[in-house]
Amino acid sequence: MSYTQTLHNVRRRVAARARETRHSVPDPVRNGRVANRSTFSSRDQAYRKKIRHCDASSFHESFQNKQFNMSDKKYVLGMDIGTTSVKVCVYDPKTREIVAKQSKDTAANIPSDQGIEGNKQDVPKIVSAVHYCVSRLPRDVLRHVTRIGVCGQMHGVLLWNNGAWEKVEKDGIVMRYEATREKMSALYTWQDTRCKPEFLESLPKPDSHLNCCSGYGCATLLWMLHNKPEKLKSFTYSSTVQDFVVAMLCDLKNPVMSDQNAASWGYFNTEKNEWNHDILNSINFPTNLLPKVVKSGVIAGVLSESWNGIPEGTPVGAALGDLQCSIIATLENREDAVLNISTSAQLAFVVNSIQDVGCKTVEHLPYFNNTYLLVAASLNGGNVLATFVKMLQQWMLEFGFPIPQSKVWEKLIALGLEAPTTSAMKICPHLLGERHAPASKAAVENIDLSNIQLGCVFKSLCDSIIDNLHIMMPKRILQNAHIKRIVGNGSGLSRNAVLQRAVEHFYSLPLEFTSGGDAAKGAAIAVLE
């Protein structure tokens, strides 16, 4: 837009403001003089005077300065492709602030032929949610994006062939990307439980400090090798969904995977930074499907086309783990532990190397700069509470009383805060089992007349989720690491004061929330490191 057009638009806005001030206003400017000054506010009069008396050259100079300042901006786009939603943000490295953000639920879950043991998602729906979010960010901001960072749900796997995505163009400009359903499988997520303990025990032991569990990429592919070998033979590539998005944006011939996502698949040695090729080849695993692995923070490629105003050639980082990115956005110092409760639940802090802490229910996951996260990663977090809420909704609906989900949450939290601090009721929250105890189920003990009130039950359920984490990572581990506080993260925790009380009770440490914590923001920060 030229400066003369901009000046014209400003004059039009001033006139419009004047008309709003009074139902009937005479022609606002006559021979350079304001008619009926009393109809305008003093601010309007000053603003009109400024515009009226500025000549073209001074306005042009102002306009050019504004253009220069905007072109000086350098932003980073961060994307988090989560289990239930996609979140994107534009991050300003200079101010360390979020300039713009968007999110959208993916609603991508689809039925599995394995029933409740399977957990699959429709990838085209996820890609559509990515487009929805990015396309609704301001174009004048996106054109100043100089890097793109991507993270997402770990462990999951999808398979695809050439032609798995296409560019939708208009007048030679790429409007959006679409995933081609016929050229790919579904995404088999981390919540998939088709790999039974007996099957996992029949597999060779990985050359890694990390086990391979149900829902992990290599475990799912090995299950297919044994049960649906023809499916594996019909595809050329495999990766996590976030790796797929990076490959799509960069139009990569072969996918690239960070060590964070590779470790989440199993059969990956983090110290050697390589797959267990020999072990996998010995059981006829199609190792040609495994992506090339790079260190976290490495650039995977560049944007193959201009996308929603982001310039062609913009560097795109190899996709990262959502846990690692949420922590890099949250962690302020090494004396902090981060508790994330969203769909699942994780308690983690940074360590320099793999070390024996005397607890088999914690893991060392690759972090950044050759460090590790010591993590207690539970499958049971916000998903357990969400299932409880949906159960109550369904019960009330069957009685003929539909209740909005928000009202159920509001009432449960209020009742939970009023419930007695102690209760004999004990709940095991293993609705999805645990990776260290896949056969474990949820259970309730010590029900009596004193604790069957709804508030007592909800408080006991919240307590059980934190107690379960405390069993996996006892507070002595945090004490030995000189952890001084727990930083909370995730909507499942930040919106639930009953859970927050439980954290401070079981860990005897202060729980605080910071302004960071967004995995999309973490992805943006990480690609700058």
Q: What is the CATH number of the domain that holds 288?
A: 3.30.420.40
Name which of 216, 214, 217 is nearest 197 in CA terms: 214
**Number of DSSP helices (H) and strands (E) in the chain, helices first:** 19, 28
Q: 36 with 165, same domain?
A: no
Name which of 312, 310, 313, 287 is nearest 299 in CA terms: 313
Cα angle, residue 519 at apex, residues 515 and 525 outer, rounded to 5°: 80
pLDDT in tens, 164-203: 999 998 877 788 999 999 999 999 999 999 999 999 999 9
Rounded to whole angstroms, how far apart are CA atoms 134 and 150?
13
DSSP H helical segments within 72-209, as ranges? 123-135, 139-142, 197-201
The count of other CB atoms within 10 Å of the CB of residue 424 is 12
Radius of gyration of the chain (CA): 27
Q: 144 with 289, same domain?
A: yes
At which of 323, 347, 382 does a domain end?
A: 323
Q: 13 with 51, same domain?
A: yes
Q: 382 with 235, same domain?
A: no
Q: 221 with 136, same domain?
A: yes
Domain residues for 396?
333-513
88, part of any domain: yes
Residue 155's φ and ψ, nearest 5 degrees, are 80, -35
Q: 310 with 361, same domain?
A: no
Q: 86 with 24, same domain?
A: no
Cα angle, residue 29 at apex, residues 28 and 30 outer, rounded to 5°: 125
Eight-class DSSP state of 307: B
Q: Which residues contact 266 (CB under 8 A, 6 or more apart)?
A: 206, 208, 210, 211, 212, 213, 216, 217, 218, 219
485, part of any domain: yes
Rounded to whole angstroms, how far apart are CA atoms 22 and 29?
15
5 pLDDT higher than 90: no
Residue 318, both tokens: 């190899």
Rounded to whole angstroms, how far apart are CA atoms 135 and 178?
13
Rounded to whole angstroms, how far apart are CA atoms 93 and 75?
7
Give me the torsion for CA of 331, 247, 363, 267, rounded to 10°: -160
pLDDT above 90 covers what percent of the chain? 81
Q: 209 with 137, same domain?
A: yes
Residue 394, both tokens: 């369904």
How many domains does the chain divide into?
3
Rounded to whole angstroms, how far apart are CA atoms 19 and 261?
59
Q: Over range 285-295, report the average pLDDT.
A: 97
At which of 323, 344, 373 does a domain end?
A: 323
pLDDT in tens, 466-482: 999 999 999 999 999 99
Q: 271 with 137, same domain?
A: yes
526, part of any domain: no
Q: Over range 210-224, report the average pLDDT.
A: 97
pLDDT in tens, 89-148: 999 999 999 999 999 999 999 999 999 889 999 999 999 999 999 999 999 999 999 999
pLDDT at 76: 98
Q: 413 with 359, same domain?
A: yes
pLDDT in tens, 341-371: 988 999 999 999 999 999 999 999 999 999 9
221, part of any domain: yes
Name which of 297, 299, 314, 321 is nearest 529 in CA terms: 297
pLDDT at 71: 56
Name which of 373, 267, 276 is nearest 320 in CA terms: 373
The answer to whether the CB of 485 falls within 8 A of the CB of 510 is: yes
The answer to whether the CB of 35 falls within 8 A of the CB of 12 is: no
519, part of any domain: no
- pTM surpassing 0.85? no
CA 404 from centroid of its chain's CA atoms: 25
Rounded to whole angstroms, how far apart are CA atoms 440 and 423?
23
Rounded to whole angstroms, how far apart are CA atoms 302 and 255?
13
CA 232 from centroid of its chain's CA atoms: 29
517 pLDDT higher than 50: yes
The count of other CB atoms within 10 Å of the CB of residue 334 is 15
Q: 19 with 47, same domain?
A: yes
334 pLDDT higher than 60: yes
Q: 385 with 505, same domain?
A: yes
Name which of 385, 348, 390, 353 is nearest 369 in CA terms: 353
Residue 232, both tokens: 């594996």
Name which of 240, 241, 195, 266 is nearest 439 in CA terms: 195
At which of 323, 356, 389 does a domain end?
A: 323
314, part of any domain: yes
The answer to whether the CB of 118 falls within 8 A of the CB of 112 is: yes
Residue 247's φ and ψ, nearest 5 degrees, are -60, -40
pLDDT at 13: 53
- Give the pLDDT band (50/70/90) at residue 393: very high
Give, for 316, the enclosing helix (H) or strand (E).
strand 315-317
492, part of any domain: yes
Name which of 101, 49, 51, 106 is nearest 76 in CA terms: 101
Name which of 189, 160, 181, 190 is nearest 252 in CA terms: 160
349, part of any domain: yes
pLDDT at 12: 55
